Structure 1
Amino acid sequence: MQQSTRIVITGLGLTAPNGNTLSEYRQNLLDGVARLQNIEIRHMGQVHAGVCDFDPLKYQKRKELRNGTRAGSIAIYCAREAVADSGLDLDSLDKSRIGVYLGITEHGNVETENEIFNISQFNYDTKFWTHHHNPRTVANNPAGEVTMNLGITGPHYTIGAACAAGNAGLIQAAQMLMLGECDLALAGGISESIHTFGIFAGFKNQGALAVHEDPNKASRPFDQDRNGIVVSEGGCIYVVERLEDALARGATIYGEIAGWCINSDATDAVLPNPERQAQCMRQALARAGMEPGDISIVNTHATATKQGDIQEMTAVREVFGGCENTWVNNTKSFIGHAMGAAGALELAGNLPSFDDGVVHPTINVDNLDPSCEFPTLVLNEPKKAGRIDSILNNSFGMLGINSALIIKRYDAATQ
């Protein structure tokens, strides 16, 4: 492994409940626009959800949409948008040297639930079970659908990392590029979670599903009256490459992947461990050769569950306490919890800070929980912070998986 190899982001494509381009998404984060809504879920009735409104026919035919999956469609849209944003001509490249690494929380539940419901209408006769079920439900499906759509013949797989998966996809891409296993990577995270009633039922029975008269105010991390998660779909995929390759083609560089860590709590399936979360952030800093005070923005994972937010802020205080120029924010207050896509989407919302020097806020905080207080927590209004040099992106998940990813401003003077 070439430890000196520098890895950069040169393109991105996304779809979120409040935007289908980075510019639209970012503007809505600065303007306080959430766009969450109520939807009808089988066996559940009305629930709050984050729904994406992109055009799936932009890059797929109707038959492909019928045969494929919602997760695959989101992934294809994001991957195509990322490639277009990067300025790359894929047809001029060796597609066997392109890797696709997509983080997911879960995959296949949507299709299985739908098929069981369908055959229940026919006395459970399995001849009405679709022959597309197996390729739809294999765990590598979203990444595989991307390779088929773009004609990529290099490695592809999904990374099952619960809600740390968006970060994990980018980390995997950086590692594979450093190892020389690929020359270009499409990486990030994808979620179709709002199309399965099981995930809503599970959170509801845990007492962790948000309820509010206004769906746009239901996701309220750090607020004293928070009462749970708003489940969302979405996706964000990045073009990731070695710095020398990006410079050789004159690419625009969004930022440099400077450090990362993935670790495990090994204590509880649901309740986070702040000691392990703090350790994760510290190890990411160590890999990057940075100190806590070098970080300009910490984007929190906080999902608006009572204990989860407190545990994370305990870890943040432990690592960044006393860092007067480190701003702390949260993106789920706008888009809900996009599960496997969360980390990748939340990073995207902060990347423009390198250019405009503004930190987007956490919204819906009417009554800050004292247990979540932090001196530089950005609440309800954007913060004009001046120069932003680095972002630490937290993404944590069930079974105690933690991830921290550090992106720093690309400095041409340090080539």
Structure 2
Amino acid sequence: METQLPRIVITGVGLAAPNADNLKTYREKLLAGISEITEIDLRYFGKAPAGICTFPETKYRKKKENKRGTRAGCLAVYCANEALADAELAIDHYKRSRIGVYVGLTEHGTVETENEVYNISKYDYNVDYWTHHHNPRTVLNNPAGEITMNLGITGPHYSIGAACAAGNASLIQGVQMMRLKEVDMALAGGISESTGSFGIFASFQAQGALGSAQDPREACRPFDTSRDGIVVSEGACIYVLERLESALARGARIYAEIVGYAMNSDARDYVLPFHERQTECMELALERAGLQPEDIDIINTHATGTKQGDIEECKAIRNLFGDAPNTYINNTKSIIGHAMGAAGVLELAGNLPAFDDNLVHPSINCQNLDPECELDNMVFDKPKQLKSVNTILNNSFGMVGINSVIIVKKYK
């Protein structure tokens, strides 16, 4: 007899986005299409549109601790504590040795390294002035480790490097570890500190993939014929994941059940996406969820505002959802920019409240839809009211050909 896998649910959400530091405000601004993308003046690079987070950085640890740690760790600690508070869950409800921390990252350490190189440039590049904190700041597990130190968690922690699919990958890791009974609760999500890195902006510009506009709030415009690239944003989102029976036993509010997921690889190119593998990734997630394309109410697209990326994803969606007349399509990056390792989890979080209000938040900044991106039921500028929302599919794809899909379902 086949053993039924434990059912895993989301019971808490903590986030920091370029337009909000909590889910309620974040949802309100997404529904209203309010972007707070601004212009930054980055050392060595100059001015560029970017998404910057404003949140109470010393709410859960002291300024001295933040100074010793990293910007990514600061975001991680804030969001982990907010997620626990949102779940109304004391950290010692579960044994601390049975809590896992899984954090998705696109990159980590470049900000710290660039800062140190700049600092020693003031001293004729004398490495005696290089900080002894650099190594622990730049190891990949840093943000996850900073969470464990702040909360006294002694279970496993690590970061998952999966380019811009990393947020979804961390959720998948959390689900798998809980189903294997390696841990009893997980803090899983993604972090981006990319706005501090000259190298990130310079690389996207060198690729011809950095978004621009006179008004920075209009720089990220997926699907539009005039789109010219990505808007780099920082951000973070951490979820509390619990087994369904444990959540019910403590009377927890349940945001959603994670019912399907998949990851695969294009195996073709360093940066160019491939719609066939994206289609296969969505198909596998649907199969694992026991759903058909027509069962999906909302698809939150990965689309970043790059021409080929938008087109390939739309081809993939068209391939699979061409006969799904009640599936609606939106995009969150048009409002908050591209939060890299946090993109998938922030975008999913912004759609979770649809299970309560039955609204599809809109994409913005698309004045002239690219014919190659045209799909039925794309939601632009204003929210779309549905009779009910029961399922959400979230796409996140990344460089070097990595694809991820998460499907969540309303718990009834």
In which range does the TM-score fall when normalised by the shorter chain? over 0.9
Q: Number of paired residues?
A: 411
Corresponding residue SS for 2:191: strand
TM-score between the two structures when normalised by the length of structure 1: 0.98
Matched residues in 1 for 2:127 and 2:258: separation? 48
User: Could you tell me which residue of structure 1 aligns to residue 122 of structure 2?
Assistant: 121
Task: Give the RMSD, CA atoms, in angstroms.
Answer: 0.8
1:292-336 deviation digits (Å, cap 9, x = unpaired): 000000000000001100000000000111211000000000000
Equivalent residues in 2 for 1:126-165, closer than 5 Å: 126-165=127-166
CA shift, 1:380, in A, is 1.1
**Distance in 2 between the 1:314 and 1:90 partners?**
44
Structure 2 unmatched ranges of 5 or more:
none
Which position in structure 2 is the counterpart of 1:396? 397
Aligned to 1:79: 80
Tell me if structure 1 keeps the 8 A contact 2:94–2:185: no
Does the aligned pair in 2 maintain the 1:164–1:397 contact within 8 Å? yes
1:93 deviates by 2.9
What's 2:386 paired with?
A: 385
Matches of residues 295-306 of structure 1 in structure 2 within 5 Å? 295-306=296-307
Show the counterpart of 2:214. 213
- Number of the residue aligned with 1:324: 325
3-state secondary structure, aligned to 1:57: coil
> What SS class does the counterpart of residue 166 from structure 1 fall into?
helix
Amino acid at match of 2:353: P
Structure 1: distance between partners of 2:402 and 2:386: 31
- Residues of 2 paired with 1:216 and 1:49: CA distance? 9
CA distance in 2: counterparts of 1:3 and 1:346, whole angstroms: 29
2:313 matched residue in structure 1: 312
Which residue is 1:365 aligned to? 366
Cα deviation, 1:111-162, whole Å, max 9, x if unaligned, reads 0001011111101111100000000000000000000001100000000000
**Hey, what does 2:295 align to over in structure 1?**
294
Q: How far apart, CA to CA, are the structure 1 residues paired with 2:124 and 2:331?
A: 47
Match of 2:273 in 1: 272
Cα distance, 1:89 vs structure 2:
1.0
Partner amino acid for 1:367? N
What is the Cα deviation at residue 250 of structure 1?
0.5
Q: CA deviation at 1:48?
A: 0.5
Deviation at 1:2, TM superposition (A): 5.8
Question: Aligned partners of 1:356, 1:268: CA distance in 2, in Å?
Answer: 40
5 Å-filtered alignment, 1:253-272, equals 253-272=254-273
Moved over 6 A (4+): none
Match of 1:39 in 2: 40
- Percent pairwise identity: 63
Q: Please report how far the alpha carbon of residue 91 of structure 1 lies from its aligned counterpart in structure 2 after TM superposition.
A: 2.8
Q: Residue 90 of structure 2 corresponds to which residue in structure 1?
A: 89
Question: For the Cα contact (< 8 Å) 2:94–2:184, is it kept in 1?
Answer: no
Query: Contact (CA 8 Å) 1:2, 1:179: kept in 2 or not?
Result: no
Normalization by structure 2: what TM-score?
0.99
Q: Identify the residue that residue 190 of structure 1 maps to in structure 2.
A: 191
Distance in 1 between the 2:405 and 2:3 partners?
Answer: 21
CA distance in 1, matches of 2:151, 2:235: 20
Structure 1: how far apart are the matches of 2:125 and 2:372? 51
SS of 2:392 mapped into structure 1: strand
Matched, 1:180 2:160: no
Q: Return 5+ residue gaps in structure 1 as ranges.
A: none
Distance apart, 1:3 and its partner CA: 4.4
**Residue by residue, what CA displacement relative to the aligned partner does 1:74-114 show, whole Å, maximum 9, x if unpaired?**
00000000000001111343100000001000000000001
The answer to whether the 8 Å contact 1:3/1:178 transfers is no
Distance across 1 between alignment mates of 2:66 and 2:289: 41
Question: 1:251 & 1:354 partners in 2: Cα distance?
Answer: 16
Question: Aligned partners of 1:363 and 1:168: how far apart in 2?
Answer: 27
Question: In structure 2, the residue corresponding to 1:342 is in which secondary structure?
Answer: helix
Cα distance in 2 between the residues matched to 1:133 and 1:9: 35
Structure 1, 89-98 or 19-28: larger mean CA deviation: 89-98
Give the distance between the partners of 1:202 and 1:109, measured in 2 at CA: 13
How far does residue 45 in structure 1 lie from its aligned partner after superposition?
A: 0.6
Aligned to 2:28: 27
Take 1:181 and 1:171, find their aligned partners in 2: how far apart are those partners? 14
> 1:224 is matched with which residue?
225
Secondary structure of 1:325 counterpart: coil
C-alpha separation between the residues in 1 aligned to 2:276 and 2:4? 28
SS at match of 2:338: coil
Give runs of aligned pairs for residues 100-111 of structure 1, distance below 5 A. Answer: 100-111=101-112
